[in-house]
Amino acid sequence: MKFLVFLNEKANRPETDWAALNRSIREHVSRMLEDGTLDCAHYVLPNRGVCIMNASSHEVLLSQLRSWPAYSHHNFEIYPLCNIFQAIDDNFGRVPPPAGTAAGQQGGST
């Protein structure tokens, strides 16, 4: 499963060694990109991050989020993603056929 994840800095973040934390985040993101946990990761100005995260279950996603070095410094917004073609096909299957077509006529001719 794929998830769109936004990381938002908390207003009242605990004090920390910011340089060390940023090095840790950089290493963590690099590792997750390398092992395929993340498809991509971007910084969104002025103080937000966004990534596409892969997880086999919601529980795995929770564990991955909690492994984030700055977990206590961020709030997460999570949106499940669907394959675009499967979503389009699903939508197409729900659309009623146009009136006046063979598929849209009910009960044949009178």
Fold classified for 2-84: Alpha-Beta Plaits (3.30.70)
- Residue 48's pLDDT is 94
Domain spans in the chain, listed from the N-terminal domain onward: 2-84
Record the pTM: 0.79
Q: How far apart are CA 38 and CA 10, in angstroms?
A: 22
Q: How far apart are CA 84 and CA 46, in angstroms?
A: 29
- Other CB atoms within 10 A of residue 97 CB: 10
- Residue 106's pLDDT is 58
Peptide bond into 69 cis (omega under 30): no
Q: Mean pLDDT in each 10-residue stretch from start to end of the chain (110 residues)?
A: 96 90 97 98 95 98 97 96 93 81 60
Amino acid in the structure at residue 45: L
- Residue 44's pLDDT is 96
Residue environment code for 33-43, b if the CB has 16+ CB neighbours within 10 A, otherwise e: eeeebbeebee
